[in-house]
A and B are shown apart, each in its own frame.
Chain A
Amino acid sequence: EPEVTQTPSHQVTQMGQEVILRCVPISNHLYFYWYRQILGQKVEFLVSFYNNEISEKSEIFDDQFSVERPDGSNFTLKIRSTKLEDSAMYFCASSGRQVFYGYTFGSGTRLTVV
């Protein structure tokens, strides 16, 4: 079964540092997303991406965040200057044209800001 792949699985970074979280969505999917989940809390939408541009973003996705699809397979989330409160599990997801089949989530990257 096709999977969404995320790397690294765990990233520890110092406050103020830049981090890049990487994702390889399912190859024939068209829509790509980033979500985050602070420990013990609900999953929160960050951003959606379609046709090489941001389609929708939440209030959480401020100027510190950016996304990129640098080539035909990777989808990245960059946090420019990490804060303690950015510590969370970050999930990448993708979906095909038929959302009826749901969104496929990756296994996540646990970001710890110290």
Chain B
Amino acid sequence: GQQVMQIPQYQHVQEGEDFTTYCNSSTTLSNIQWYKQRPGGHPVFLIQLVKSGEVKKQKRLTFQFGEAKKNSSLHITATQTTDVGTYFCTVPDSGGGADGLTFGKGTHLIIQP
């Protein structure tokens, strides 16, 4: 199945600092999705990236898909306490409609006030 590496595993930031998490695959991806999981919660869909070099923004969150479609990043500007959680990148297993998702190990964002 697909493999995706996600770094860092943990990120401690002061409130107001920026945060970035990275995902890398050895194979070209058809798409990548990002999810957020609050402590004790369930994964919540953030966005899907499909096109090479795509950049999408959601308020303070910026998502990028690499030109080769093998890597992606999520950047949060000026973190707030509500950003606390684990951010997962996911890739589809085969590209079909009923695909399972392979999750990265996630980046745990810890914010110090």
Contact = CB atoms under 8 A, between A and B. Distances in A.
Interface stretch (B15-23, B61-69, B75-83, B94-102): B94-102
Interface in B26-56: 31, 33, 35, 37, 41-48, 50
A99 B88 contact: no
Contact of B97 (A41, A43, A50, A104): A50
A102 B33 contact: yes
B98 A56 contact: yes
A110 B15 CA distance: 32
A42 B48 contact: no
A48 B42 contact: no
B113 interface: no
Contact of A102 (B48, B94, B97, B102): B48
Nearest to A56: B100
A108 interface: yes
Contacts of B42: 91, 105-108
B43 A56 contact: no
Given A45-B102, A101-B45, 19 more contacts: A33-B100, A42-B103, A42-B105, A43-B101, A45-B100, A47-B100, A48-B99, A55-B98, A58-B100, A99-B92, A100-B50, A102-B35, A102-B45, A102-B48, A103-B45, A103-B101, A104-B45, A105-B44, A108-B42
Interface of B: 1, 31, 33, 35, 37, 41-48, 50, 88, 92-94, 96-106
Interface of A: 30-31, 33, 35, 41-50, 55-56, 58, 91, 97, 99-108
17 contacts: A30-B97, A31-B97, A35-B101, A41-B105, A42-B105, A43-B43, A43-B88, A46-B100, A48-B100, A91-B43, A101-B45, A102-B33, A102-B47, A102-B48, A103-B43, A106-B42, A108-B42
